[in-house]
Structure 1
Amino acid sequence: MKETVTATPVLPPAPGAERHLALDVANTVIALPGGRCVDLLDTPEAVGRWLAERDLAPAGIGLQELCAGQLRPLRDRIRELFAARAGGLPAPGEALTAVNEALTRAPAASLLHWDPARGLYRAPSHPLTQIVEHALAVLAADAADLLTGPDAERLIACASTPCNRYLLRYGRRHWCSTRCGDRARAARAYARRPRPGTG
């Protein structure tokens, strides 16, 4: 069981996250040494801030949990698809369904409504809901593009335990950050050290 911590680790974006919002959202849940975990989208305020920083919602949107809570399950399904792709496994059906549903949820037009005083009129069903559904559709589309485009071959999981982030491999780099690379090199050096009584 992972312990969730509230202090946000200072990590640079993983390679490729600057080009793919889906990679960026997948990496908002971070495994830390000692079985600890940080969720950068753990509150409605954090979700609103994350969306605003990526121009997917206006600043200070004031999301409630009902709307904000839709992003975390999509993130988890995107992570499942990334894990399957990086591991050379079939795509999980539930993850495909979730991404496809997000792709089709964003309304293309304002809906037709009836009001006795106004008569027929067009308006979004709920402005905040429409903003969130648009953001989910953008993230789902980016995930689909990443998984089916030229970058799919470079999608890997960070090779440093316990890190759970994904990245696009550049050259021989298999780590999401310098911190993870240093940790992996230190673990390899430690494993090569002679043990007392073995020499």
Structure 2
Amino acid sequence: MGKRKPSNNPALRKEMNKLAKKQAPITSDLLENGFTRHEVEKLWRRCADLLYEHPSLVPVRFCLPNYPREWISMESQMQPFRDFINDSFLDQPQFSKPVSIFFHGGYVLVLMEENFSANFVRDLLPEMRRAIGIEARQPTLEEIGIFHVTWAERSPGMFGRKRKKFHDGSHRWDY
């Protein structure tokens, strides 16, 4: 996924190449289905087994009203979203339940098996706003990009060693 220093160990290098070939078609499908590169990388790190079981997931995202300036940073902030979404599937046998719900990049990421059920989750937004008392919305890909690019400003020192500084003072991230 990310750029890493190649191993000097030939057996490890062979195993990594084999793994990369196995993951490549799934990664491609996820990107085509609307996942961001950050999301895909995190999914491989966090729940690779889930991706092998469900290789063509569809993302649904919910964020706080002032995202990316205001973001979800704790499990407890995400819990009302998770509870509402899971409860919404209790009497809906025609839809596939979410494969997983967690927070990533300051927003709630709901992993669905297909578009039909993903659209059902997206359509829950107005009712969810009333139920949880938060003017939740769906973040744009541009806002998600801004959130990741401005991470160093919100958390100085956490990722400073990965930033490359150019002669004009601008930065670029090494990922």
Q: TM-score, normalised by structure 1?
A: 0.29
Which of these two proteins has the greater Rg computed from alpha carbons?
1
Higher relative contact order (CA 8 A, sep 6+): 1
